[in-house]
Structure 1
């Protein structure tokens, strides 16, 4: 009797393994993110790819994440920065899951309790400090500083501001592209209007759609070097351009401005984000103290 021959089962090819480097490369090719966010993500990505240049996606687990945290802390990196690096990787994994490159996101299983979140930064200038900074700034930087403290706009919103977004008759700026993706209108003070008008009418200004532009008409992308030099000349320490936004908010509150309306001007998603400046307004506390003293007396 002839033996029946059974065909062997076909070999199942193993699914391809993708490296972290090629995953991040594809992320930057396909992810839709703003320019400022993309620059931040590039920095986050470099921290991962230089630490683990040959790591595969399926190798990323709690032990790898713990090693990354230890390596970064040994280099003196703050907990807040490490949290952002980890959050970036979580975003990359989310996209990798949608591509079918990986099944689960290891970041969701990571406890970040051991990474302390820094309190919200509220560094702001006093009036005297602002005067020193203004005096030390270059002629190109001066109007940027003024508009930053007069409008509370973010640096990218300010440097990317176009002429057609400015309505001097209505005394406001219409921001279509913002960090929160929510268009908003920013009211203009007398000082802001005078500064904008001077910039537009400045002799020798090149034809440009941008309020702040280079001699060839293209927009100014970065002012970090010049701003840092101005701070050094003015002897102002621990201060960044974004802190001019904090300065606007702090001056607003100290002058009795409403927190809810401040949140609308700044474009905050929640009132809680603006509430960080609430401790700067003490007039109502002094008034209440006088009432208590009167009753007690």
Structure 2
């Protein structure tokens, strides 16, 4: 919290990385961190029993993924169809591109090994293209 960064120690490509924390993320997480006594390590999100969610990638709980379950519940409540947890990566990469963040930075923060992968994940909408073309003199 003090470094305003998020440590990701279980990534898809098994690389431990740290990414800067957006100010709005810090605003949301700060009260949670303070309520827990400002711990310097451990999990951020706990289940209703105050325990870390189980890492289902280790195969200890077949067919159960708390993140996917909670995401599905949130989408259902918001009446959002056909939007997966994985879609957030596409959404994030696209917003980064539309915010003019360079592709190398997006690649590092997203944990991708190549610019080609970033290009597959990121897309821009018609509105963004219109705004971009209107900036030309």
Q: Same fold (TM over 0.5)?
A: yes
- The answer for unaligned runs of 5 or more in structure 1 is 1-167, 292-297
Aligned pairs for 1:259-270 (under 5 A) are 259-270=103-114
The aligned counterpart of 1:191 is 24
TM (norm. structure 2) is: 0.71
Deviations 1:136-185 (A, max 9, x none): xxxxxxxxxxxxxxxxxxxxxxxxxxxxxxxx222112333322122211
The aligned counterpart of 1:250 is 94
Larger helix percent: 1
Aligned pairs for 1:124-139 (under 5 A) are none
For residue 282 of structure 1, give the secondary structure of its aligned residue in structure 2: helix
Is residue 11 of structure 2 the alignment partner of residue 178 of structure 1? yes
- The answer for unaligned runs of 5 or more in structure 2 is 55-65
2:89/2:121 contact within 8 Å kept: no
Q: Runs ≥4 in structure 1, deviation > 6 angstroms? A: none
Q: In the comparison of the two structures, how many residue pairs are matched?
A: 120
RMSD: 2.8
Is residue 63 of structure 2 the alignment partner of residue 216 of structure 1? no
TM (norm. structure 1) is: 0.36
Query: Residues 226 and 260 of structure 1: is their aligned pair in 2 closer, same or farther, counting only changes over 3 Å?
Result: same
1:263/1:271 contact within 8 Å kept: yes
Is residue 125 of structure 2 the alignment partner of residue 286 of structure 1? no
The aligned counterpart of 2:81 is 237
The structure with more radius of gyration = 1
Query: Residues 175 and 189 of structure 1: is their aligned pair in 2 closer, same or farther, counting only changes over 3 Å?
Result: same
For residue 193 of structure 1, give the secondary structure of its aligned residue in structure 2: helix
For residue 89 of structure 2, give the secondary structure of its aligned residue in structure 1: helix
Deviations 1:93-152 (A, max 9, x none): xxxxxxxxxxxxxxxxxxxxxxxxxxxxxxxxxxxxxxxxxxxxxxxxxxxxxxxxxxxx
Query: Residues 264 and 284 of structure 1: is their aligned pair in 2 closer, same or farther, counting only changes over 3 Å?
Result: farther
Query: Residues 284 and 276 of structure 1: is their aligned pair in 2 closer, same or farther, counting only changes over 3 Å?
Result: farther
Structure 2: distance between partners of 1:198 and 1:187:
18
Query: Residues 242 and 273 of structure 1: is their aligned pair in 2 closer, same or farther, counting only changes over 3 Å?
Result: same
Cα distance, 1:261 vs structure 2:
0.5
